[in-house]
Structure 1
Amino acid sequence: MTDTGDAGLTLRKLADCAGMRLSNVQYYFNSRDDVLAAMVGRYFEECSANLVHMTDRHQFGTTRERIKFLVSVGLSHGQEVSDMCRAFREIWAISSRNKEIDLRLMDYYSQFSKVVVDFALPDGFDTAARDRLRALLVPYFEGYSITARSLPMPVEDTAEMITDLAVSVTNA
């Protein structure tokens, strides 16, 4: 299946790869789209759990320190073409032709942005500040994961610049 991508996925191929009978696979999945949705859903659950775990492990005193931590993690992640980046690129491609995957992707980004903003901005920040930070950081993380290796600034300088911008939009 890795040779043919999602277009080559069939329930029969899945059954063969899993060493199962087709009827057993069909018991759990009605279509290949159901399989894709389940795979993407599971992947997003793992990504969300990792993000929550990472933010739970780190406590910082100021809003700036929390934002810089998030930005720095995003920058370091974007310096390599990681398995996560490759997986998301494939999911983005599938979402352009599959409404269910697109809905799951949008739901993931909504949850992702909530975790990021809840970590960066403690209680007391208004909805507008939270929305501005969401609108800045989520597209930044995604775009940076694609373009990071081609940008001319050192990572630390970029982290400072994005942190300054993010703090300014929150009025912190």
Structure 2
Amino acid sequence: MAVKSTTDESGSKNGRRDASLESPTGDTARTLTDRGRNTVARILASAIEIFAAEGYGGLTMRKVAASAGLALSNLQHYFPTREDLFAAIITEATADYSRNYDNILHSDASLTPAQRLEKLVRLLIEDGKQPRTQSLFVNFWALAQMQEFARKIMEDAYLFQRRMIGEFVAAVNPQLPPNVLARRAALITGQIEGLLVLIPQRNRFPSDLKGIEDEAVKVILAVAAMP
């Protein structure tokens, strides 16, 4: 669940390269021109909106091309197949996560590691309350259940997320061995993602669950600090 943030023109944030702005088809030898980067951004914006609204079934190449104001052949120059488009959507979401993780890691120096982790958790919970985010991830999960290529892409995306959350947990509890750290990060990821099932297409939790966000933060901080 990603919240948009700004980057410089090179696509970097705190030294990390934005993978979504590399050659979409994986040809790392071909660097996109400014015009190409703008075109890719327009394609991705259209593809994400269509995928969120209609799922993978609605994500046709012709529909994306029309929405982005391109000829089909121009779209296929950047994304030859629908699978390439889906991979790029995930890459874009991962890049948004990366920027937000970096922003928090390099935010107010007066924050303690526990406060940074809390800030991250609250950001992710708040993002999960957005209907558009819910639509995206429900469609991600559904496709991963049906298609092997999507399952692998999602596994890689969640591995990235667990590693990033693991950085925050390690700062809180630096004595944790790597295998325990990996499990803690996975538990925290599952806790945050699991809250989505309580608010399908709603932007707040039911009234009988008032205070659940604060409880989730307390539990997650306790899990991170456990010996």
TM-score (norm 1): 0.77
Aligned with residue 135 of structure 2, among 75, 79, 86 = 86
Alpha-carbon distance between aligned partners in 1 of 2:177 and 2:136, rounded to the nearest angstrom: 34
**Residue 30 of structure 1: SS of its match in structure 2?**
coil
CA separation of 1:46 and 1:67: change in aligned 2, threshold 3 A: closer
Aligned with residue 178 of structure 2, among 122, 127, 135 = 127
The question of whether the paired residues in 2 share the 8 Å contact of 1:66 and 1:119 is answered with yes
Unaligned runs of 5+ in 1: none
Is 1:47 the counterpart of 2:97? The answer is: yes
Alpha-carbon distance between aligned partners in 1 of 2:63 and 2:210, rounded to the nearest angstrom: 46
Aligned with residue 70 of structure 2, among 20, 40, 55 = 20
Identity of aligned pairs, percent? 23
The question of whether the paired residues in 1 share the 8 Å contact of 2:60 and 2:82 is answered with yes
The question of whether the paired residues in 2 share the 8 Å contact of 1:77 and 1:145 is answered with no
**Residue 121 of structure 1: SS of its match in structure 2?**
helix
The structure whose residues are more often helix, as a share, is 1
Alpha-carbon distance between aligned partners in 1 of 2:59 and 2:216, rounded to the nearest angstrom: 41
Alpha-carbon distance between aligned partners in 2 of 1:58 and 1:132, rounded to the nearest angstrom: 28
C-alpha RMSD over aligned residues: 2.7
CA separation of 1:109 and 1:29: change in aligned 2, threshold 3 A: same
Alpha-carbon distance between aligned partners in 2 of 1:26 and 1:7, rounded to the nearest angstrom: 18
- Higher relative CO (CA 8 A, sep ≥ 6), structure 1 or 2? 1
The question of whether the paired residues in 2 share the 8 Å contact of 1:6 and 1:94 is answered with yes
Alpha-carbon distance between aligned partners in 2 of 1:19 and 1:114, rounded to the nearest angstrom: 38
Unaligned runs of 5+ in 2: 1-46, 200-204
**Residue 116 of structure 1: SS of its match in structure 2?**
helix
The question of whether the paired residues in 1 share the 8 Å contact of 2:90 and 2:157 is answered with no
Alpha-carbon distance between aligned partners in 2 of 1:72 and 1:32, rounded to the nearest angstrom: 34
Cα distance, 1:76 vs structure 2: 4.2
The question of whether the paired residues in 1 share the 8 Å contact of 2:105 and 2:116 is answered with no
Paired letter, 2:157: Y
